[in-house]
Amino acid sequence: MLKSKDRILNKTRREFLGTAGTLLLGSSLLPALAIDNEPIIDIHQHTDYAGRPHDVLLAHQRAMGITKTILLPAGTPAFGSSTQNGKTNGLQAKCSGNEVCYEFAQKYPNEFIFGANEVPDLPDATKEIEKYLKLGAPIIGELKFGVDCDSKEMQKIYQLAEEYKVPVLMHWQFEMFNYNFERFPKMLEKYPNVNFIGHAQTWWANIDKNHTDQKVLYPKTKVAKGGLTDKLLSDYPNMYGDLSAGSGLLSMTRDEDHAREFLSRHQDKLLYGSDCDDHVGHGEKCQGAQTIAEIRKLSASKTIERKLLHGNAKKLFRL
């Protein structure tokens, strides 16, 4: 029979080995992106996204291995045509506004940055946006409202972006948000000193020159080079692309051969974003983590991968 001292030592040894085994097992289940210590900038996240608690958002971003996150606020709740009579308030996803994003970023200044936004046809839209630009917001957006993308209200925001030297992030969705995508080249020409970031279904569907039915928001066919989005990235130095959301992920997975070439060709113009509302931060349920994995899989070199996940955003936002 073991003496009391020996029993204590054996128990301690078993507990240590069990703890070590659990840690090793846990590390094997963590996403690789959280292990390699390479910085990742997420340019597209939201507070209160689909009701997600703030502590879960924090844990989600850390689980994905994100080192810096830009929080994109919603506009003030409004009930005009630009929000489909209030149906799309909160960016159609219960997202919170400027003050919440600002306060969250103040609480975690090493990990989060706040953006600035407002419903463009509200009387004090530019005044509200400017308030947060003065506080240090490095971006306006995401602009996800039912207005013409070249309307006078939107152009006032573009002029403000030009004054403060910050990018504007646009959500293009046919017959829902930022109407008349085909007219946007005129805005790029009119505001050459404003950097615009394209995002969402209509933006990513139009990488394909054969995409003619704009009502199809998530096309899954092979991609023919030369769509409007492709041309905007190629022809205008002030046009960038946000790889976030299901639309950004699909733009790569629908045709990986095209995606490899596309990522290489536009390697200085594309930015990683998650726009992900899940509560986990890894695995098949996390679209943001899947997007990181796809970028790593399809980047032709480590240099390109690092540009997409970190370098381009660092340069564009002067981080």
10-residue mean pLDDT profile of the chain (319 residues): values are 40 36 34 65 98 98 98 97 97 98 98 98 97 98 98 98 98 98 98 98 98 97 97 98 98 98 98 97 94 98 98 97
Distance of CA 58 to the CA centre of its chain: 15
Q: What are the residues whose beta carbons fall under 8 Å from the beta carbon of 109, sequence distance 6 or more? A: none
pLDDT of residue 271: 98
Decide if 29 contacts 36 (C-beta within 8 A): no
pLDDT of residue 37: 82
Q: Which of 215, 197, 208 is nearest to 275 (CA)?
A: 197
Tokens of 103: 């306060």
Per-residue DSSP letters for 83-144? GTTTTTGGGGTT---HHHHHHHHHHSTTTEEE-B---TTSTTHHHHHHHHHHTT---EEEE-
The three-state secondary structure class of 205 is helix
Q: Does domain 35-316 have CATH number 3.40.1190.10?
A: no
Task: State the Cα–Cα distance between residues 307 and 118, nearest whole angstrom.
Answer: 30
Backbone angles phi, psi at 275, to 5 degrees: 50, 50
Task: State the Cα–Cα distance between residues 155 and 258, nearest whole angstrom.
Answer: 34
Task: State the Cα–Cα distance between residues 170 and 184, nearest whole angstrom.
Answer: 11
Identity of the residue numbered 318: R
Residues in the chain, total: 319
Tokens of 155: 């152009």
Backbone angles phi, psi at 114, to 5 degrees: -100, 145
Tokens of 305: 């991968």
Long-range CB pairs of 90-93, under 8 A, 24+ apart, other chains included:
90/48, 91/46, 91/142, 91/144, 91/171, 92/144, 93/46, 93/49, 93/50, 93/277
What are the residues facing 249 on neighbouring strands? none
Q: Which of 140, 154, 145 is nearest to 80 (CA)?
A: 145
